[in-house]
Structure 1
Amino acid sequence: MVTFLEKISERAKKLNKTIALPETDDIRTLQAAAKAIERGVANIVLIGDEAKIKELAGDLDLSKAKIVNPETYEKKDEYIQAFYELRKHKGITLESAAEVMKDYVYFAVMAAKLDEVDGVVSGAVHSSSDTLRPAVQIVKTAPGAALASAFFHHCRTGL
């Protein structure tokens, strides 16, 4: 019998998507990234400080992951400007947009908005509201959709 996760994994392999993982200060995120890479489930972009990620990762093989630091990313100003344009009607300034884009979850969601990644997986460290807020502010809901939702799946055997 094929399990729920096996079905999702096989579909993900076929789709060959790129997923951003912003919670890189949690070893579980790095372990999941290593498994996803090993199993060919997705291309992985880790959001965070490369030295800190590598130190925390230890012997985990993340060599095929791309690491993007919001502080030094060459498109940082584009992200800041895009967030400013999306939220200026709410009173955000360029300076506050720059501060927001230092938040790894917001940064990862902006990467999805700008089509640099296909999706973001978050919620191991952040609450559902802290995970959904950036998505609702940046990506928005589909036209006609009144609700946004989160999904959580926990398993004992890993990916």
Structure 2
Amino acid sequence: MNISDLIENFICEKLDEEKIVELKRNELASFLGCVPSQINYVISTRFTTERGYIVESRRGGGGYIKISRVEVPKSNFHMHIINSIGPSIDYPSVVAILSNMANDNVISLEAANIIASALSDKALSIVSGVTSKNALRANIFKNILINLM
């Protein structure tokens, strides 16, 4: 297991125990035998809003990081996601949202894979320009989510 996975697993275990986890970057780095920048990397890439987390960070002498998992009632889950997509979305964000939905048993893993495939850069290759592709991807994704409601 690499250090990034170790850090992520440690934080996820803490989140399973408590709704909000408050961490001191330097103390956690010392405990896990890594440097604080590795903690920053994991938090910025694996604890994103697309994955259902809220991160609050304060730097300085008594700096800390607060992480909480967004709890959205199942009835509001699709609308929350639709509203968070905005006018465009890139493929990695789509994959993160679908992964979160599958992990929360909102959709099956098979459905997540089918939707991801339909929204991939390869599937949208006929569209030129990243901006146009991401706008089309957002519209298609929102329509899929509306039909899943």
The interval holding the TM-score normalised by the smaller chain is under 0.3
With the length of structure 2 as denominator, give the TM-score of the two structures.
Answer: 0.27
- Structure number with higher relative contact order (C-alpha < 8 Å, ≥ 6 residues apart): 1
With the length of structure 1 as denominator, give the TM-score of the two structures.
Answer: 0.26
More helix as a share of residues: 2
